């Protein structure tokens, strides 16, 4: 069972063997695109992107756009198996005081917070080793290159729409990284690593989510999602701001969790884990946990 859980996180922790710096032609594509998107601090963007410390993946386009990993309840069933649930129960006991305070303050189930941390990174064991700056810059360069090639004209409309949605998404996240660099100039973004999809920390926040929802438990200048207390309160704040506030209906709870990951499989897995943590194990497919 432990081995199964490790396999589930394989893609998240494995850095691309073909990672490399950006070519000048790619940098030019990205800079011109940023200008068109309204980015004003082009000098800052150029400085970040030209660095040999950039570590972009050749597989970013395939993993994020053309051949995304498909979730299924069978693949995610590992999270409700004894090994994973034992980890979750130990975590809940260790952090029970902070979890209780967080639940009271944010009105978000402590079991849901624990479930998110289990499913996202196994409580920090598997945060990922892809450079976040490289994920988004590489993805933008690849999509723009595709858009300017002959392949664009022969691509079916449905696929075109997906490419362009991903371009808009990656552009927004790259601009969020630039804002993070402006707010926290001492933060070395080249050292910021996470999943192949550009999420980082124990809570696996995207850069835009970090700017909007991350919080420091101690009131420090910068939230540090690699630290458990900051991850706990940041998850609670994210869920509350996206509609998860007890008391609420099961439907609203699921809708709020859907914001964290746009997947019914993901949402149901969180609910199943939370039910087990609450001792409600009579039916994994029952409705979302009621009032906490």
Nearest Cα to Cα of residue 119 among 68, 80, 63, 69: 80
The CATH classification of domain 73-127+199-277, taken from the options 1.10.530, 3.30.420, 1.10.287, 1.10.10: 1.10.530
Helix-helix angle 110-121:264-277, to 10 degrees:
120
3-state DSSP helix/strand/coil % of the chain, to nearest 5: 60, 5, 35
Instruction: Note the pLDDT of residue 4.
Output: 39
Q: Where are the domains of the chain?
A: 17-69+130-192, 73-127+199-277
Whole-angstrom distance, CA of residue 96 vs CA of residue 105 = 14
Q: Tens-of-pLDDT digits for all 292 residues of the chain? A: 333 333 333 333 344 446 899 999 999 999 999 999 999 989 999 999 999 999 998 887 888 887 777 777 878 899 999 999 999 999 999 999 999 999 999 999 999 999 999 999 999 999 999 999 999 999 999 999 999 999 888 889 998 999 999 999 999 999 999 999 999 999 999 999 999 999 999 999 999 999 999 999 998 789 999 999 999 999 999 999 999 999 999 999 999 999 999 999 999 999 999 999 998 544 433 343 333 3
Region for 193 from its dihedrals, namely left if φ exceeds 0, alpha if ψ lies in -120 to 50, beta otherwise: beta
Specify the 3-state DSSP secondary structure of 217: coil
Q: Kindly report the backbone phi and psi dihedral angles of residue 122, in degrees, each rounded to the nearest multiple of 5, phi listed first.
A: 50, 50
pLDDT at 164: 94
C-alpha pair distances (Å), 182 with each of 2, 168, 189 = 41, 21, 11
Write out the two tokens for 253. Answer: 């709870």
Model pTM score: 0.87
Q: What is the pLDDT of residue 15?
A: 42
φ, ψ for residue 131, nearest 5 deg: -70, 125
The pLDDT assigned to 110 comes to 98
- CA nearest to 257, candidates 232, 289, 285: 289
Contact status, residue 215 vs residue 223, Cβ threshold 8 Å: yes
CB 81 within 8 A of CB 4: yes
């Amino acid at each position: 069972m432990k081995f199964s859980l490790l396999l589930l996180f394989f893609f998240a922790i494995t850095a691309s063997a073909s990672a490399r710096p950006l070519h000048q032609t790619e940098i030019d594509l990205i800079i011109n695109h940023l200008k068109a998107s309204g980015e004003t601090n082009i000098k800052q963007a150029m400085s970040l992107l030209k660095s040999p410390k950039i570590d972009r993946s050749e597989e970013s386009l395939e993993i994020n756009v053309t051949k995304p990993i498909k979730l299924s309840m069978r693949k995610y069933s590992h999270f409700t198996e004894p090994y994973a649930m034992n980890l979750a129960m130990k975590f809940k006991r260790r952090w029970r005081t902070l979890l209780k305070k967080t639940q009271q303050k944010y009105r978000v189930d402590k079991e849901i917070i624990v479930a998110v941390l289990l499913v996202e990174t196994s409580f920090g064991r598997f945060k990922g080793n892809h450079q976040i700056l490289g994920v988004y810059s590489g993805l933008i360069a690849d999509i723009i290159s595709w858009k300017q090639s002959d392949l664009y004209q022969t691509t079916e409309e449905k696929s075109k729409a997906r490419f362009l949605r991903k371009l808009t998404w990656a552009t927004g996240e790259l601009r969020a990284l630039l804002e993070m660099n402006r707010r926290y100039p001492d933060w070395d973004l080249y050292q910021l690593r996470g999943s192949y999809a550009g999420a980082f920390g124990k809570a696996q926040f995207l850069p835009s989510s970090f700017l909007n929802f991350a919080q420091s438990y101690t009131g420090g200048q910068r939230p540090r999602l690699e630290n458990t207390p900051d991850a706990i309160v940041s998850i609670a704040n994210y869920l509350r701001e996206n509609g998860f506030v007890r008391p609420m209906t099961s439907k609203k709870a699921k809708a709020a969790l859907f914001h964290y990951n746009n997947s019914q499989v993901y949402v149901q897995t969180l609910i199943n884990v939370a039910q087990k943590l609450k001792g409600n194990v009579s039916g994994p497919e029952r409705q979302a946990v009621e009032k906490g």
